[in-house]
Amino acid sequence: MTGEGGPAELDGLTALCALTDLAAAYGPRYHMLPGEPPPAEAAAGAWLPADRLLSADSAELERLVSAEWQGSGHRTGHAAALTLIAVYAGRVTAAAMLDWALDGRVWDVRPWNVLVRPGGHGIAGVRLRTPRLLAAPSAEPAGTLSALHEAVLDSHLLPLAAALRGATRAGMRQLHGGVAHGCATALSATAARPPKELARRWAEFVGPRPELVRLGDLAEVTGADGGRRLRYLRNTCCLYYTSAEAVRCASCCLTPRADRLRAYAAR
């Protein structure tokens, strides 16, 4: 899918520089480390293989849900799952979403190439076992989008949502809402492209996916600094108000749309 028939592997230094630049410009959610973890961290089981999270009865998935449940202080496992899928989508696959939107590059974030480190609330770290691109800017746009869908949705986030449904009985529509929310916020983080261009990229990404397209929308908002940014407004609820923090997330569908837009404008 790189234009030469397969993934393009990058040396560790090249990948580290590319990923560090992305994180430095747009925030820590885009930070990924290249390669396997140090032996001590690997021996301690600090990192979970993402492909082991795709089974409802896996110990790794139970550990990840438990970390979110305890860290957020949710009342129920299914509420923890709904929060988890949103923060996971907005962290683990975020670099692939943003780099595609900016430069047409698709990092290989398929689950068998990814390690994740649980945090108290969310994901504390992400590693690419083999730093490589599934698609480069020189590839055909249709092939690049296909590579992104495969890496982010088909092999990773949608199977994870299905596993969380099986493990916690969380609603599939709400889980898919978390997937859409995480992907949209990852894509819309930058001010380096006009909001309308990013909105077109989002429509390109989500348009072929009927299970995601109706779960929210991007609105262009003028912030307190006068800058125009995209904000994702959810049509599903992650139940974060049932956590120990007892607050609604900024994009919560339980808050009237006008109130959400005013709150974003005040930032």
Q: Split the chain (267 residues) into runs of 10 and give each run's mean pLDDT.
A: 57 61 81 89 89 97 91 82 93 93 92 93 90 83 91 98 96 96 89 90 93 92 89 91 82 92 90
Helix (H, G, I), strand (E, B) or coil at 55: coil
Among the listed residues 216, 209, 181, 183, the one whose alpha carbon sits nearest the alpha carbon of residue 100:
183
Q: How does DSSP classify residue 36? A: P
In the chain, the DSSP E strands lie at 8-9, 33-34, 48-49, 106-107, 114-118, 123-128, 132-135, 216-222, 228-234
pTM of the model: 0.91
Please report the pLDDT score of residue 258 as a whole number.
94
Please report the pLDDT score of residue 2 as a whole number.
55
Please report the pLDDT score of residue 22 as a whole number.
78
Q: How does DSSP classify residue 154? A: I
